[in-house]
Structure 1
Amino acid sequence: MKKLLLLLALGGTAILSSCSKKVVSPYASTNKIYTEHADTLSRMILAQTPATLVDSAGRPIPSEFIGTVNFNLRKPNYVVIHYTAQDSVQQTIRTFTMVKPQVSAHYVIGKDGKVIHMLNDYMRSWHAGAGKWGNVTDMNSSSIGIEIDNKGNEPFSTAQINSLLALLAKLKKDYNIPTANFIGHSDVAPGRKIDPGLRFPWELLAQKGFGYYSDIIIVPAPVNFDYATALRLIGYDTSNLPAAIGAFKRHFVQREGSSRLTQFDLDVLYNVYKKY
C-alpha cells in the first residue's frame, strides 16, 4: 500500500512538473528581437533633446525642448494588398523573420484563414518598396501591408477572403481609411509588381466598401477621353504610361494583354475615374 501511494505521489509530481513546463514558441528569438527593436524606437520617441543648431557664422542657436500636450501617433491611411508568391505561410513567416530579405508586412493571411499579425499597425513595414500612388512617394510610411498566402496562379480560398474582409473592416473603422485607399501592390508599382494578381476578387471588395470597381452598366467614355489624365487622377504613376495601363487593366478589367486600351477598357476606365 505504501509503495502504491509513493508511486501515485511520484506520478502526480511528474504530471505537475510537465504541466508547469513553459511552451517555447519557435519564434521566441525573433520575437525577442522585435521587442528589443520596439524598445529602441520607444526610447527615440521619448527623447526630449532640443535641436542642435548653428547659424551661418557657426555660432550656436539657443534651443530648448518643451513638450506639447496635443499629439498622437501617425495613423495609416492606405492598405496595400499583396500575394506572397511563396510555397507556404510558414515560408513567408520565415522570410519576414530574417534580416537578409529586408521585407515585411503587417499581416499575413494563411490559406486556412488564420491571420498572423507581424507588426504593430503604427509602425512602418517594408512591403511596398519604391511604390507611388498619387502624390505619395513613400507608401511604406502611410500604409498597412497585407500578404495573402498565394503563389499567384491559384484561386484564393474562401477562408482567406473571409478573414481579409473582416480584417479590412477593422482597419477601415480603426483608422478611418477612405474607400478609395484599398489598393494592390501592382497599383503602386506598375511594371514592377503584378500582385495580388488576376484572380483577386476586387469586385467583391468594392461591394463591401474596400476600393472602387466599375458598375455593371457602364456609360461609354466620351470622344477624345483623356485616359492618361484619368489614370493619374485615380492615383497611378503615369511616368511609364504603358505600365500604368497594364496595372489598371490587371485591377479593374482583370485580364492580361497588351498595354493598349480597347474601347471596353476605356469605358471601364471612364466609369471608375468618375468615382474618384
Structure 2
Amino acid sequence: MESNNYSNVTFDYDYSNASNEIYPDFAEPYFMHVMTCVIISIGLPLTVAAIYCLYSQVQNNNVAPIFIINLLISDIIQFCCMIVLVAKPDGKIYVIFFYINFFGVMASVGFMVCIALERYLLIAWPLWYRVRRTIKISFVVCVVVWTLPLVYVLPYYYWVESDGSETISAVFLLVPFPLLIFFLGGTLKSLFAAISVSSDEKRRIVGILVLVLLIYTLLFLPNIIWSLVGEARDNYTFSELILILVRFNPLADLILYFFMRKGVIDKLLASLCCCRMNSDDNSRSSA
C-alpha cells in the first residue's frame, strides 16, 4: 500500500544507525492534503452514525450487519490514522500510525470478501446459510479477519528493507480478487434456483456483489499493478493516484453500506428499468 519504497514520491527517509528505524518526512501536494481533510470531515461522522444504526440491529439478534460493522470499524481506524498523518508528526509516531493505517486497509479488504461470501451463500446455499448463520460463527470469522492483517503488517514493519515487500503486498491484495469474481459468477449461476429468496432480495444481493467488485477493481487493482510493475513505481503521477485511491477506500465502504440498506438498490434498479421501458416504448412508437 503506501509502502516504504515511496521514497522518491512521498518520503525522504533518515535511517538512524542506533535504532535502525525509519523516520519519514512526509511531503504531499496541497490538493491531496485538502482532499484528505474533506474525506475525513465527510466520512468520519457518517461512518460513526452508520455503526450506531447497525449496532441496534445486531442487538435484535440480526447477524447480517456484523461484517459491515467491522468493515466500518476498519474505516474508523483509517480515518483516525489520516488525522494523525495529516498533522505530520515527527519520528516514530508517524511510522506507527502509517502501519496502523495499512492494517486498517487490509482488514477492510478482508471484510469486503466476507460480505461478498455471505451474499453468495445466501443465494447458492440458502438452507445451509440460514442454519449456520449464528453470532458465534460470525464472531470467530471476524477474529480471523482481524488477525490475518496483523500477522502480515508486523513482519512488514520490522522487515522494512526487504526487496520483496511490494510483491508480498500485491499477493495479499490479489488473492481476494478472483474470490470476488467467483462469488459474483456463482451467485448469478444460482440465482434462478434460489426459490426461498425473494426477487427484491436477489436484485439487492447481485447489486451489492457488483458494487464490491467494482470498488475493489477501481481502488485496489491499480495498487496491485503499482506493486508488481517497477516502471509504475517510478511514475510520480501514478504513485500519487495510488495514494488518493487508498484514501478514498473508507468513503467507498460507506457507499457500500448505503447500498446495502433495503430500498436503495430497489429504487435504483426500478428507475433503471423504467428508463429502459420508456426507451423501448419510444423506439416502438417511432417505428
Range class of TM-score, shorter chain: under 0.3
Q: Flag the structure with higher helix content.
A: 2
Q: Flag the structure with higher strand content.
A: 1
The structure whose Rg is larger is: 1
TM-score, normalised with respect to structure 2: 0.21
TM-score, normalised with respect to structure 1: 0.22
